[in-house]
Amino acid sequence: MCVIGLGLIGGSLMRAAKAAGREVFGYNRSLDGVEAARADGFDATADLDEALSRASASGALIVLAVPMPALPLMLRHVRAVAPACALTDVTSVKGAVLDAVAEAGLLDRFVGGHPMTGTAYSGWSAGDERLFVDTPWVLSVDDHVDPDVWARVMRLALDCGAFVVPARSDEHDTAAATISHLPHLLAEALAATAGEVPLAFALAAGSFRDGTRVAGTAPDLVRAMCEANAAQVVPVLDQALRLLTDARNRLAQHQPVADLVETGHAARIRYDSFSRPQIVAVTIGSEGWRDELAAAGRAGGVIRSALPVRGSRG
Amino acid sequence: MCVIGLGLIGGSLMRAAKAAGREVFGYNRSLDGVEAARADGFDATADLDEALSRASASGALIVLAVPMPALPLMLRHVRAVAPACALTDVTSVKGAVLDAVAEAGLLDRFVGGHPMTGTAYSGWSAGDERLFVDTPWVLSVDDHVDPDVWARVMRLALDCGAFVVPARSDEHDTAAATISHLPHLLAEALAATAGEVPLAFALAAGSFRDGTRVAGTAPDLVRAMCEANAAQVVPVLDQALRLLTDARNRLAQHQPVADLVETGHAARIRYDSFSRPQIVAVTIGSEGWRDELAAAGRAGGVIRSALPVRGSRG
């Protein structure tokens, strides 16, 4: 397999795949990253077309592990040099990637992915072969996805120690807006509000510390996530604003805020007891397999060992 | 000293004060709590007027450790039985308590307090003599406070292992609204919003878990905190709503959300490096001591060892 971009995620993926016994080579734009990877015993180059030619010749799975803004350029190279290779990505927003892939004419061989893991650090040196262990790795089950490519990416995720959450790209993006981008915006608003109140930091304790933890994330990353997924963030932010505005009006009128507090508490309790049943009864490539997987993923289902593929030898 | 109410805070206070070598007795409404305290070797009664008579006879410091709704009734008993005793409380909202104390005609001997600690549990059995160790204990420095009563309550807090944050009641309540009540409302709104989005719980990770942690708090407690401090919660909630609505409108117009994200990040970074200089140079009872302490507390200052009192023997 061929990893394009050897930062935190790509570099961790290269390590994890090699540790799982896979043959893996990669490309990185900066020579520093390439040299660091080579010094650690990995097969890396700063020549993109060399890496893609080799992927094309060996029929390697190509993993795009570059930031969203770099993606269209990489896709044009893939289209020119390795158009027949199976293709996946590790970007946190799936709809925009899908559009870029379609634009590049590579939809047939593409299955979007999102390993939901990370650290506050970046670059090759931040990588860790265990970064994916026991973390969710979303694989898109959009209408176009090819069963064989899907199965290949699934096996990669499982080899890295992740469990696979099947999801449609649009549903992924709305859920990500809700459970990642919205919490970031709320944390920023809480920190910014407290920053203007004398005595606030002096009295701050657990609820403030937890509620603002992700405001410590680098602003560029937060902006990139939220701005790239704006179409999905706006409706869930609107819903949160409706709930908070209603509570605000009730408090201003000395009325109880039982609705918000009880609904929020009940949701958090449901989340605490949310189970992750293993998906075992779906055959990839069978009639309706994509819808079955999307429904199972929606219900919390995860893939922890490789599902069978219709018509395959295994 | 005399502790009125032997729940989590009152019960912990009784234990901590005794461990510090103080003579302490207490009252609890329910006989179960009284018997549990007695079984643990503490001096407790279910007869309020008996406890207050004893406090009055011995000049004990009375600590009101009952929930806000029970406070006016307790204050009427104190007024009737032990009006000359020094008086403090451990309630999380200080303005409303101050009003109730003024209403009962007990302002002269009262210094409001708020030990900023707790657990998710309640009742005598949940108590812990170390609950206050290295936690902030706010003491009000409102214009009326008496230096000797203030010093007595300060020494109690220090004996329990807490450090003292001096603050005006109104500033405390605005800060508490910002760093405690607002985070609770945001957490409830986040949990409630996610509860309606398919796939949200399936993808939820650290930012959602941290952002909704306090939504796991019992709804009655969250309501009691927010509703009792509504007048302070509304303006800080309005400020958060303004910031979030602005971000929402920018996202809807494909504009950057740099303002919110950078302000929030900068505030969180300031919070991370917020220091707590020790207050040493103030003499309680000297000219302007209340304003000096309020200013020092606002700047993060804390009292870790007893300040001198003007004209006192120590």
Confidence of residue A92 (pLDDT cuts 50, 70, 90): confident
Same-domain check for residues B72 and B212: no
Q: How many domains does the structure of chain B reveal?
A: 2
CATH number at residue B258: 1.10.3660.10
- Are A151 and A244 contained in the same domain? no
Q: Which of B150, B119, B146, B145 is nearest to B132 (CA)?
A: B119
CATH number of domain containing B109: 3.40.50.720
Look at residue B161 and tell me if it is in a domain: yes
Examine the domain organization and report whether A247 and A291 are in the same domain: no
Q: Write the CB contacts of A244 (distance below 8 Å, at least 6 apart in sequence).
A: A260, B185, B186, B189, B237, B240, B241, B244
Which among B191, B196, B257 has CB closest to A226? B257
High-pLDDT (> 70) share of chain A, %: 99
d(CA A146, CA A4): 21
Statement to judge: residues B192 and B243 lie in one domain: yes
Percent of chain B, pLDDT > 90?
Answer: 90
Task: Say whether both B23 and B158 belong to one domain.
Answer: yes
B27: CB partners within 8 A, 6+ apart? B2, B3, B4, B5, B6, B44, B45, B46, B47, B48, B50, B51, B52
pLDDT of residue B313: 55
Q: How much is the ipTM here?
A: 0.86
What is the rounded distance in angstroms from the CA atom of residue B21 to the CA atom of residue B309?
22
Q: 10 Å Cβ neighbour count for A57? A: 10
- Are A133 and A186 members of one domain? no
- Residue B221 contacts A where some CB pair is shorter than 8 Å: no
User: Does residue B146 sit within a domain?
Assistant: yes
Q: Is residue B311 part of a domain?
A: no
Question: A125 and A190 in one domain?
Answer: no
Q: Give pLDDT, residue A314.
A: 47
Residue A314 is assigned to a structural domain of this protein = no
Query: Domain residues for A266?
Result: 173-272
The pLDDT tens digits of the residues spanning B112-121 come to 999 998 876 7
* Each residue's pLDDT tens digit, B255-306: 999 999 999 999 999 999 998 899 999 999 999 999 999 999 998 999 999 9
Q: How many CB atoms lie within 10 A of CB A23?
A: 11
Examine residue A257 and state whether it is found in any structural domain, yes or no: yes
Residue B261 lies in a domain: yes
Segment B245-257, tens digit of pLDDT: 999 999 999 999 9
Residues contacting residue A102 through CB under 8 Å, at least 6 positions apart: none
Q: Tens digits of per-residue pLDDT, B181-231? A: 999 999 999 999 999 998 999 999 889 999 999 999 999 989 988 998 999
Q: Which tokens sit at A130? A: 């265990």
Dihedral angle sign, alpha carbons of residues A259, A179, A109, A132: negative
Question: Are B163 and B204 within one domain?
Answer: no
Q: Tell me if B307 is assigned to some domain.
A: no
Domain match, A252 and A116 both: no
Give domain status of residue B183, yes or no: yes
B69 and B36 within one domain: yes
Tell which B residues from 247 to 286 touch A, by Cβ distance under 8 Å: 247-248, 251-252, 254, 256-258, 260-272, 274, 276
pLDDT digits (tens, 9 = 90+) for B80-89: 999 999 999 9
- Which 8-state DSSP code applies to residue A178? I
CA distance A251 to A273: 31
Does B136 lie in the same domain as B10?
yes
Q: Does B179 touch chain A (CB under 8 A)?
A: yes
Q: How many CB atoms lie within 10 A of CB A298?
A: 19
List of chain A residues whose C-beta atoms are within 8 Å of the C-beta of residue B119: none
Q: How many CB pairs under 8 A join A and B?
A: 361
Pair (A129, A39) in one structural domain: yes
Mean local confidence (pLDDT), A240-249: 98
Cβ of residue B235 closer than 8 Å to a chain A Cβ? no
Q: Which residues pair with B63 in a beta bridge?
A: B3, B88
Phi, psi of A183 (to 5 degrees): -60, -35
Residue A80: both structure tokens together: 């020119």
What's the pLDDT tens digit per position in A246-286?
Answer: 999 999 999 999 999 999 999 999 999 998 899 999 999 99
